[in-house]
Structure 1
Amino acid sequence: MKRFPYAHATHPQWRMAAALVLAQLRAQMALPEQAAAPSLGLLYITDHYASEAQAILDHISAELREVTDWAGTVGIGIATNNAEYFDEPALAVMLCDLSPDQYRVFSGVAPLPASGTGDGGFVAHTALLHADPQLHDLGELVAELAERTQTGYVFGGLTASRSANVQFALGSAGNLRGQGEASGVLSGGISGVAFGPEVELISRVTQGAQPVDREREVTAVEDNVVLALDGEPALDVLLRELEIDLDQPEAAMARLRRTLVGITPPSRSGLDLDLNHPSHARGQFGPEVLVRHIIGLDPGRRGIAIAERPSLGARLAFCERHAQAARADLVRICSEIREELAPEMSGIGDVFTAPDDATPAAPRQIAGAIYVSCSGRGGPHFGAPSAELQIVRRALGDVPLVGFFANGEIAHQQLYGYTGVLTVFVHDGVPAA
């Protein structure tokens, strides 16, 4: 595996942006340290180009004949190394130097087989997902897809678009019988790329909210209305801890709009809950916490309606989006990834590699990276244009990186909000002479 070529460009006309991207890719592919004939392409576009998605894929795939498989989607913004494109016409491409027998592009017309029943001997180890946010039972579908991988780990995000929610999924392995010739551009459903056990990934979740109160147990709940926390009416807890007075509605609503809830489901209570975990040591949420909106109050039952259906025994904490905490947590996950690449480091975070992998004689390196962040984050949240990706660049280094700003993020079989999911492809470094 060699370094992944990647490129990005913005232009009112998609053909001009594509020409710029293709020129960058060809220049990189001519370099000895870059992959010369990668077969998998990741394509992300902003929604300004959504109506031209098919034309863009047809043009780029025709120009890059060696790339036989494509995956990607649309976002309100797209991410690249050191830059963000928000609310402007732009596209980004990364060409992944992976063995064709170690990945499969999947979609509704080319489903991912159940774990252990892969076609041609392929066994899914992990998977990158792109999903339509309008899908019913989306959480269950993500979990079901995760069960089709050996590790149960999937990552990615929900498409974000003010027009068509398009996805790219064009695979050389073919489609279901009767589906005809696929165009590679889909609307609805879930698509992505499954990776085999020889594709080593390191993945991290960074949270964008900080708790403003301690965790409490959900002791009474009905559907999405939390009725009691630690045996006390949930609304009473909210009003007391946030110092909100409903007799002063304007001030109360201003505070409530800034307040979210962080939920730890009972089934995830053991994930990264070590008190020595860096995020907990700084009073920040770890990846086990799902951040959700407060969508209403129920004075009659003294309850709080939230955009989730928590179960009894879940843990809940009130929180707020916090740029400084988000910045520190983003630096943390980048630092952990860099530490994970050192030969002497092991057992930190989510590392997925072949069981018989030997410790390399030189530090491992990042061949490429995918970053999926919430569409409510990015430069505007971090204080300046492209600020979020500039933080990643400074902390992680100059690595090939593409991604998009999503309508929800996916990791650990869960749907997140206000988070960033950073995943890197790892290859062995060159041993010292």
Structure 2
Amino acid sequence: MKWSSALSTRPSLEAAIAEVVEQAQAQLGVPADVGFLFVSSAFTSEYARILPLLQPQLPNVPVIGCNGSGIIGINSRGTVREVEDEVAISLILGSLPGVEVHPFYISMETLPDLDSAPSAWAELVGLPEAAQPQFVLLADPFSTGINDFLAGLDYAFPQSPKVGGIASSGITNGSSGLFCVDRFHRSGLVGIALTGNIVIDTIVAQGCRPIGQPYCVVESERNIILKMESEAENSTIQGSPLEMLRDLIQTLSEEDKVLAQSALFVGVAQTEFKQCLESGDFLIRNLLGFDPREGALAIGDRIRPGQRIQFHLRDAATSEEDLETLLRKYQLNAMNHSKAQGALMFACLGRGESLYGEPNFDSQLFSRYVDHVPIGGFFCNGEIGPVGTTSYLHGFTSVFGIFREK
């Protein structure tokens, strides 16, 4: 297995595509079996021309891709770059002996009912349930049903990792483009399923740190928490979420009190059995608001009684610490399996230079721990990656899909 990554910032579409193809093929040195293409939203008016320009240069190579307001890749000097809000194209090529490559396009109007059998979801992507594929998924931001699709795919292929992102167009441009082999689409979802001698390891850095202690939800309705409880030394205390949050805020440092005014989130524990919860055990969701009369709390996801939650804070230092912790853990575990050969990065629009105050932060931090691995990707309107064994659509997250042999 071998991967390559190339990045061009040339303003001419023809010149940019020619440059990334030449560089990526030269790095690879062998025929490519799969490709991923990420195109700056500055090329919006030329999306329909991209595949006709690309295909003659990469004949018989299945390629999927989409647009992004920021593009990630490795430039001609061998340096990983995150090009935000500027013209750029990134191409990632893979030579995958012993791997079958299955590209597909999904229209959200064709999704099976959520009560359908796993076989219906497997048939949707054209694979048998026993295939154990590794998925890369790219979707447009205006199609509904992404969460239903992820739930159905988990139902059909529960052991298969799914990574990807939602196309992004920046502030001034609302048009999206999805590319799948020889077809250009304005809506829906494109994907590639890889089967055989390949594994996608996942890192999902949500960029938050927990504060206080976990609480157990006692009463809830849809996405609204009405009552929860905390465990003191020898007793259980119940109350409204607002009361408990006010008590928690009083225990914070002055810096965290200020941060809680603008960067407070709710982490929903994804394991029912683990006693000591860590950062990676939570699915981070937005705190939507409170009902001051009832003390109820609304979050950006459904919640049920019995689930555990913990309040979280997010800032640049926390995001760095969270990603570095996960990368250290991956580096340690990597000694027990085959070496990483390539990677895709799907970063939230809210990260990058606007969060850290400097460019190329997440990608360079990744390269420090997963060295000499070609990487490419884009800045997303939402990131797809697992927490525990379930696939989710995230926000403010950096998701990495790391390719290696079984």
TM-score, length basis structure 1:
0.77
Residue matched to 1:199: 198
Q: Is the 8 A contact 1:373 1:419 kept in 2?
A: yes
Distance across 2 between alignment mates of 1:264 and 1:80: 34
The answer as to 2:398 corresponding to 1:393 is: no
Distance across 1 between alignment mates of 2:344 and 2:104: 18
Aligned length: 372
Residue matched to 2:249: 242
Residue matched to 1:407: 381
Shift of 1:298: 1.0
Residue matched to 2:178: 167
SS in 2 for 1:309: coil
Residue matched to 1:360: none
SS in 1 for 2:106: coil
Distance across 1 between alignment mates of 2:38 and 2:47: 10
Q: Is the 8 A contact 1:294 1:306 kept in 2?
A: yes
Q: Is the 8 A contact 2:163 2:385 kept in 1?
A: yes
Residue matched to 1:259: 264
Shift of 1:114: 4.3
1:175-225 CA distance string (max 9 Å, x none)? xxxxxxxx5222222221111142122222222011122111121222222
Shift of 1:39: 2.3
The counterpart of 1:57, out of the listed 51, 65, 86, is 51
Shift of 1:254: 7.6
Shift of 1:88: 0.8
Shift of 1:150: 5.8
Distance across 2 between alignment mates of 1:168 and 1:113: 24
Shift of 1:242: 2.0
Structure 2 counterpart of 1:406, which letter? C
The answer as to 2:312 corresponding to 1:319 is: yes
Residue matched to 1:133: 141
The answer as to 2:324 corresponding to 1:331 is: yes
How well do the aligned residues superpose, as a CA RMSD in angstroms? 3.0
Q: Is the 8 A contact 1:127 1:149 kept in 2?
A: no
Query: For residues 158 and 121 of structure 1, do their structure 2 counterparts lie closer, same or farther at Cα, with a shift above 3 Å needed?
Result: closer
Distance across 2 between alignment mates of 1:5 and 1:43: 12
Query: For residues 395 and 120 of structure 1, do their structure 2 counterparts lie closer, same or farther at Cα, with a shift above 3 Å needed?
Result: closer
Residue matched to 2:36: 42
Distance across 2 between alignment mates of 1:191 and 1:139: 15
Distance across 2 between alignment mates of 1:49 and 1:274: 50
Residue matched to 1:419: 397
1:44-103 CA distance string (max 9 Å, x none)? 122222332221222122222242x11122222122252101111111001111248622
1:249-279 CA distance string (max 9 Å, x none)? xxx99843221111125xx435xx474xxxx
Q: Is the 8 A contact 1:79 1:404 kept in 2?
A: yes
Shift of 1:405: 1.6
Distance across 1 between alignment mates of 2:247 and 2:376: 44
Q: Is the 8 A contact 2:20 2:90 kept in 1?
A: yes
Query: For residues 259 and 167 of structure 1, do their structure 2 counterparts lie closer, same or farther at Cα, with a shift above 3 Å needed?
Result: same
Query: For residues 314 and 85 of structure 1, do their structure 2 counterparts lie closer, same or farther at Cα, with a shift above 3 Å needed?
Result: same
Residue matched to 1:309: 302
Query: For residues 150 and 233 of structure 1, do their structure 2 counterparts lie closer, same or farther at Cα, with a shift above 3 Å needed?
Result: closer
SS in 2 for 1:366: coil
Structure 1 residue ranges without an equivalent (≥5): 171-182, 245-251, 347-363, 429-433
The answer as to 2:81 corresponding to 1:83 is: yes
Residue matched to 1:358: none
Query: For residues 11 and 337 of structure 1, do their structure 2 counterparts lie closer, same or farther at Cα, with a shift above 3 Å needed?
Result: same
Query: For residues 398 and 139 of structure 1, do their structure 2 counterparts lie closer, same or farther at Cα, with a shift above 3 Å needed?
Result: same
Residue matched to 2:346: 372
Q: Is the 8 A contact 1:210 1:322 kept in 2?
A: no
Structure 2 counterpart of 1:414, which letter? Y
Distance across 1 between alignment mates of 2:88 and 2:301: 33
Residue matched to 1:180: none
Query: For residues 66 and 11 of structure 1, do their structure 2 counterparts lie closer, same or farther at Cα, with a shift above 3 Å needed?
Result: same
SS in 2 for 1:334: helix
Structure 2 residue ranges without an equivalent (≥5): 75-79, 112-118, 230-237, 252-256
The answer as to 2:390 corresponding to 1:382 is: no
Shift of 1:296: 2.0
Q: Is the 8 A contact 1:75 1:160 kept in 2?
A: yes
Residue matched to 1:25: 24
Matching of residues 178-217 of structure 1 within 5 Å: 183-217=182-216
SS in 2 for 1:104: strand
Query: For residues 322 and 202 of structure 1, do their structure 2 counterparts lie closer, same or farther at Cα, with a shift above 3 Å needed?
Result: same
Distance across 2 between alignment mates of 1:184 and 1:220: 49
Q: Is the 8 A contact 1:382 1:388 kept in 2?
A: no
Distance across 2 between alignment mates of 1:397 and 1:91: 23
Distance across 2 between alignment mates of 1:421 and 1:96: 19
Structure 1 counterpart of 2:21, which letter? L
Shift of 1:119: 5.6
